[in-house]
Amino acid sequence: MQTLDPDAWQGQILVDQGTIFEGLVGYDTQYHIVPKIATHWTTSKDGLTWTFYLRRDARWSNGKTVTADDFYYAWMRFASPQDSQAPMWESFLQFVKNGWNFHGGAAKADEVGVKVINSYELQITLAQPHPSLIGWFALASAVPLYKPSVEAHPTNWFLPPYFVGNGPYKVKSFVPNGQIALVRNSEYVGAKGEFNVGNVKGIDLIPTPSTPVETYMSGQLDIAPIGNPGDYQYVRYNKTLHSQLQITPQWEVDTLTFDKSMDPSPLDNPLVRKAIAEAIDRSVISDKVLNGMVQQTQVLGPPDWPSAKYEHGIPENIADAKKLLTQAGYPHGKGIPTLEFYTPTVGDPKIGVAEAVAQQLKQNLNIDVKIEPTPGSLLGGIIWGSYNKGILPGFVIGVGVVNWWDSSSMDMQTFIATAGSYPSDWRKYVGAATIVTNNPYSVKAYGNPDNIKLGTGSSDLVSLQKAFDKDNAYLINYITSQTDEVYRKSITPIPSNASTWQGYLQAWKQAKTDADKHAAWVNAWNFIGNSGGLDMQVWQDQHRPDDAMQWTVLAAHENADDMNQAAVDGGRLAQSVIDSAWMVPLYDPKDLFLVKPWLTNVVYNKFSWGNFFQLQYLTIKK
């Protein structure tokens, strides 16, 4: 935790949401969404307008009243074009009318679909209906902020001398990347009828020590995670510690995942990928390598996950795996080059998982695998990013997770994690635009945005205007020609691109200096030419493989569904990904932690971060 600002996708979000800040809604101890600052809310018949009504007794830690203006200030600050690093993808603001356009500089603040009706009433207008939107308001990105403090101390407002929060706890001390001390907020008023806070007066958070179990045993910790098989083995056979052990299912699936190398290889053959999927004995990983810290699985979701029952996986079948490899033209693995397996560095249990997979592929299919310990930043890019320079064909331990409770989570993020696992010609073309700062195809067509002399004259906009006209005409035809109604409605509405483009042009015309004109031109250039711009959108629509198109359509249905139907469509999407064998489910991790017997209401975060959150519920037994 380098900061406590909720506009950064870092570990502080676990402390922000519900503990030092309180949003319109929040999670209870069972992960249900419950009212907090909001008393209730209504939704228009078309699903586009949400109106929230606020409690009048909610207070900041300085005694001031929490109002709708505090939410408006925080949300618009988060979406501001000045905060270019804010993770809009983890905020409800991405669904709000002109939310993305405002963040990108193509719309004004008063055009964003967030409106203060009065001090205790907020209205939100969406670009498209979102049936399970309410869950997004439990996130740190939706909490209010106290404007006078933030603006008076813009870089360190979260430090104790300046901190003003509205949650059950306030900050007593904070060392970036170090310890945090919280104390009860005496001004806090909780929602009526809800369990809002336990009876603990102070909470000290420390970075996980290298020996958490030993630190717990010495009395320095009252709650401690168990992160490695050795510690878990010790706890299981220690009578006292075993009685203090808590185990909960985690909403995560770890998978053997293609590393998205741009180079062609035998892995491009689906028969090879399926052979590899059938050659893995998951029990070795779950029981021997990870000592029971996980549960083996063939599907993308733990047993109690709503979509898991709609999946059947690919079971182990070594005899069939050998036949598939021969059918693919690689009998007994002959002709398959050594594959890479990118892993964390020394000490991570996933290295053992990689070694077990490598041993089984050698033993069962005569495929050689080289283990490549990889620094965390690069490894994260391989797992969650698209393409990375110099990555050779092989694998990584992928992670299918749930970031929050929402219909789009039903596929355990398999669609996101697999987005780069397309045929080699696709990977080569898109990768060339992704692994560099500026898309080289666009630099050739429109000029280099790093050249400060470009974009100052109207002639520099001509090529961009022609590209927009061509792209927009194609996209209009593409949208209107789609026969699946749900998918068609999920695509950017036809008028949106035109209005966004006009916003960029207007911003350029209003720019007074050459520097401002260049900056406005760069925004327009990015809208057309960067790796996520209209040019690349058109190319991908024209070249998307059939199975990837199926994933795209299923994802659209899943996002538009209520939670029950989302489980069905999420399961279909996950199974389609499994069938492609770009991802092979291995195991579901468990949340394992020690809690002193006199503590209750310890809420472990089942979502993607792991660790503890909703700390406000901690209660000492009387």
Mean pLDDT of the chain: 93
pLDDT confidence tier of residue 420, bands split at 50, 70 and 90: low
Q: Please name which of 46, 5, 47 lies closest in space to residue 134, comparing C-alpha atoms.
A: 47
Query: Range with the lowest mean pLDDT among 260-274, 489-503, 509-523?
Result: 489-503
- Residue 216 resides in a domain: no
Residue 79: exposed, middle, or buried by beta-carbon count in 10 A (0-12, 13-18, 19+)?
A: buried
In the three-class reduction of DSSP (H, G, I as helix; E, B as strand; rest coil), residue 155 is classed as coil
346 and 487, same domain (yes or no)? no
As a 3-state breakdown, the chain gives helix, strand, coil percent values, each rounded to 5, of 40, 15, 40
Phi and psi at 516, nearest 5°, equal: -70, -40
Shared domain for 172 and 271, answered yes or no, is no
- pLDDT tens-place string over residues 172-187: 999 999 999 999 999 9
Integer Cα distance of 469 and 321 in angstroms: 50
Torsion angles phi and psi, residue 612, rounded to 5: -100, 145
317 shares a domain with 373: yes
| Contact partners, residue 103, CB within 8 Å, separation at least 6 | 79, 80, 81, 86, 88, 93
CA distance 378 to 340: 14
**Percentage above 90 pLDDT, the chain:** 79
Token match 């401002």: residue?
516
pLDDT one-digit tens code per residue, 40-68:
999 999 999 999 999 999 999 999 999 99
Q: Which of 92, 95, 129 is nearest to 486 (CA)?
A: 129
Query: How many Å separate Cα 488 from the centre of its chain?
Result: 24
Q: Same domain for 359 and 393?
A: yes
Within-domain flag for 19: yes
Assess contact for 196 and 618: CB atoms under 8 A: no
User: Measured in whole angstroms, how far is the alpha carbon of residue 268 from the centre of its chain?
Assistant: 27
Grouping H, G, I as helix, E, B as strand and the rest as coil, residue 121 is strand
The strand pair at 223-225 and 169-174 is best described as unpaired
What is the pLDDT at residue 385?
Answer: 84
What pLDDT is recorded for position 463?
A: 95
Residue that terminates a domain, selected from 190, 207, 224: 207
Cα–Cα distances in Å, from 319 out to 278, 285, 314, 364? 9, 20, 14, 9
Which residue would you say has higher pLDDT here, 131 or 595?
Answer: 595
410 and 450 belong to one structural domain: no
In 469-612, at which residue ranges do the beta strands (DSSP E only) sit? Answer: 583-595, 599-600
Domain that holds residue 77: 13-207
The residue from 511, 527, 543 where one domain ends is 543
pLDDT (mean) for 80-100: 92
Asked if residue 381 and residue 258 are part of one domain, the reply reads yes
The mean per-residue pLDDT over the stretch 358-383 comes to 95
Structure confidence by residue, pLDDT tens digits, 146-170: 999 999 999 999 999 999 999 999 9
Separation CA 606–CA 585 (nearest Å): 18
Q: Say whether pLDDT at 105 is over 90.
A: no
Give me the pLDDT at residue 250, please: 87
505, 533: one domain: yes
Give the global pTM: 0.89
Lookup result for tokens 């005694």 = 63
Tell me how many domains the chain contains.
3
Residue 605 has a pLDDT of 86
pLDDT at res. 110: 95
Amino acid letter for position 257: T
User: Is 439 found in the same domain as 407?
Assistant: no
Q: Is residue 536 part of a domain?
A: yes
- Which amino acid appears at position 496 of this protein? S
Look at residue 558 and tell me if it is in a domain.
no
| Average confidence (pLDDT) over 71-94 | 93
**Are 199 and 263 part of one and the same domain?**
no
On whether both 375 and 509 belong to a single domain, the answer is no
Do the beta carbons of residue 94 and residue 100 sit within 8 Å? yes
Q: How many Cβ atoms are within 10 Å of 473's Cβ, its own excluded?
A: 11
What confidence score (pLDDT) does residue 9 get?
86
Supply the pLDDT for residue 489.
Answer: 84
- pLDDT at 189 exceeding the cut of 90: yes
Residue 610 lies inside a defined structural domain of this protein:
no
The C-alpha torsion from 146 through 148 and 154 to 159, rounded to 10°, is -60
End-to-end CA distance of the chain: 33
**Residue 372's closest CA among 394, 349, 399?**
394
**What CATH number is given to the structural domain containing 200?**
3.90.76.10
For the ranges 103-107, 191-195, 317-321, 338-342, which has the lowest average pLDDT?
103-107
Report how far apart, in Å, the C-alpha atoms of 558 and of each of 92, 131, 408, 555, 564 are.
Answer: 17, 10, 6, 5, 10
Of the chain, the percentage scoring pLDDT greater than 70 comes to 98
The domain boundary, picked from 207, 237, 265, lies at: 207
Q: What's the rounded Cα separation, in Å, for the pair 152 and 298?
A: 54
Q: Confidence class of residue 419 from pLDDT cuts 50, 70 and 90?
A: low
410 and 347 assigned to the same domain = yes
Determine, yes or no, domain membership for 552.
no
Query: Helix (H) and strand (E) counts for the chain?
Result: 22, 19
Tell me whether residue 567 is in a domain. no
Instruction: Give the tokens for residue 232.
Output: 């878990």
6 belongs to a structural domain: no
Mean pLDDT, residues 539-546? 92
Same domain, 453 and 401: no
Q: What's the pLDDT score for residue 400?
A: 86
Specify the length of the chain in residues: 622
Is 449 a residue whose pLDDT tops 70? yes
